[in-house]
Amino acid sequence: MKSGVVAIIGRPNTGKSTLINAILGQKVSITSPKPQTTRFSIQAIYTEERGEVIFIDTPGIFGKTYDPLSKKINQHAEQIVEQHIDVLVYMIDHTRKKDFEENKTLGIARKFTGPKILVINKIDIDHPSYIVQYKFMEEEFDTVIRISALKKKNIPLLLDALFAELPETSEHFDIPEQPHPAFNFTSKTFIAELIREKAFLKLRKEVPYKIITIVDFIEERESGSLHIKGRIITNDERYKSMIIGKNGAMIKAISTATRKELEVATNKHVYIELQVENDPHWMDYL
């Protein structure tokens, strides 16, 4: 049996979280069309007949950091490759030009001395393509796989490459009894991340990265329904107004999108109550 730890690194918004979700077949990491969505590493365990894999989805690495949040994210991502991992997956997005962020991420990958797989994502998109700018990188990796994480294309090829590099073992990971896949974060954290994803998707450019989401209360009633109370915290009163929206339309849209996805995932009726708060020190919660 094969068993090991696989870390996925890359610059922001290359599709790392989408890949994790595609491999495990259900929502694990939140995804949105904005960089800096993943703020901490998320571990998920994939199990099949060939063995077990702990996937670590790391935050995207920023080339230049101007605020405390971005600096924390970069430090966390860099620390991942210093831990015990068996295989490193480096993901690139060929539809974006190579830049300073890519150079910094590649520098981190070069510090890892174990097996490295270069994953070229978004092959379902023909134009634009800057693949020639990344061609030199192929020589630095043991294997190169071209995929579409969104379309789930060539995911089996990637898994084949991973299991080929993972070590043989007779030991299983010590996983608590729970349905697979198993995660390294609580239900409150997962739901909070889901709320933040929906906020990103609904708000788009109006509120870039000025929010944090917290779930304070989850209760399953005798009827089987789930009741959830959460907060969206921002650092400016004007952002608070945008999140609430005219006559509460925006916060209602975020709540509805979250509720619908949770109902599909849990097959239960979900009631969710969200409040919006202003706190200029919200980054201290991270």
pLDDT tens digit at each of 286 positions of the chain:
898 888 888 887 888 888 988 888 765 554 544 444 444 455 677 888 898 888 887 654 444 444 444 444 444 445 555 567 899 999 999 999 998 888 888 888 888 889 999 999 999 999 999 999 999 999 999 999 999 999 999 999 999 999 999 988 766 555 444 444 444 445 777 788 788 888 888 886 656 457 788 889 888 888 888 899 999 988 888 888 888 989 999 999 999 998 988 887 777 899 999 999 988 776 665 5
pLDDT of residue 117: 97
pTM over 0.85: no
255 and 124 together in one domain: no
- What are the two backbone dihedrals, phi and then psi, of residue 144, each rounded to the nearest 5 degrees? -125, 125
Tell whether 40 and 135 lie within a shared domain: yes
Please name every residue paired with 120 in a beta bridge, in sequence order, or none if there are none. 92, 146
Residues 63 and 135 in one domain: yes
Please check whether residue 180 lies inside any domain of the structure.
no
Instruction: Note the pLDDT of residue 123.
Output: 96
pLDDT of amino acid 118: 97
| Rounded Cα distance, 69 and 98, in Å | 23
CATH number for the domain that contains residue 270: 3.30.300.20
Q: Are residues 138 and 259 in the same domain?
A: no
Q: Are 22 and 161 found together in one domain?
A: yes
What is the end-to-end Cα distance of the chain in Å, rounded?
A: 38
User: Within this chain, do residues 105 and 194 fall inside the same structural domain, yes or no?
Assistant: no
Strand-pair category, 2-9 with 116-121 = unpaired
In a domain, 160, yes or no: yes
> Is position 273 within any domain?
yes
Predicted local confidence at residue 70, as pLDDT: 42
CATH number at residue 11: 3.40.50.300
Task: Report pLDDT for 260.
Answer: 86
Q: What is the pLDDT of residue 20?
A: 85
Q: At a CB cut-off of 8 Å and minimum separation 6, what does 244 contact?
A: 250, 251, 276
Q: How many domains does the chain have?
A: 2
Query: 159 in a domain, yes or no?
Result: yes
Residue 85 phi, psi (nearest 5): -130, 150
Tell me 26's DSSP state: S
Query: Which pLDDT score is estimated for 205?
Result: 61
Q: What range does the domain containing 248 cover?
A: 187-285
Q: Please indicate, yes or no, whether residues 129 and 19 belong to a single structural domain of this protein.
A: yes
In this prediction, residue 78 carries a pLDDT of 53
pLDDT of residue 282: 65
Pair 29, 151 in one domain: yes
Contact 179, 48 (CB under 8 A): no
**Residue 196 and residue 158 in one domain:** no
Query: If 0-12 CB within 10 Å is exposed, 13-18 middle and 19+ buried, where does residue 220 land?
Result: exposed
Looking at 113, 131, 165, which one is the last position of a domain?
Answer: 165
* Residue 284 pLDDT: 61
- Element (H or E) spanning 270, and its range? strand 270-278
Verify that 149 and 233 share a domain, yes or no.
no
Shared-domain flag, residues 28 and 159: yes
CA distance 169 to 119: 26
159 and 205 assigned to the same domain = no
- Domain membership flag for residue 177: no
What pLDDT is recorded for position 285? Answer: 55
Residue 138 covered by a domain: yes
Residue 176 belongs to some domain of the structure: no
Residue 141 lies in a domain: yes
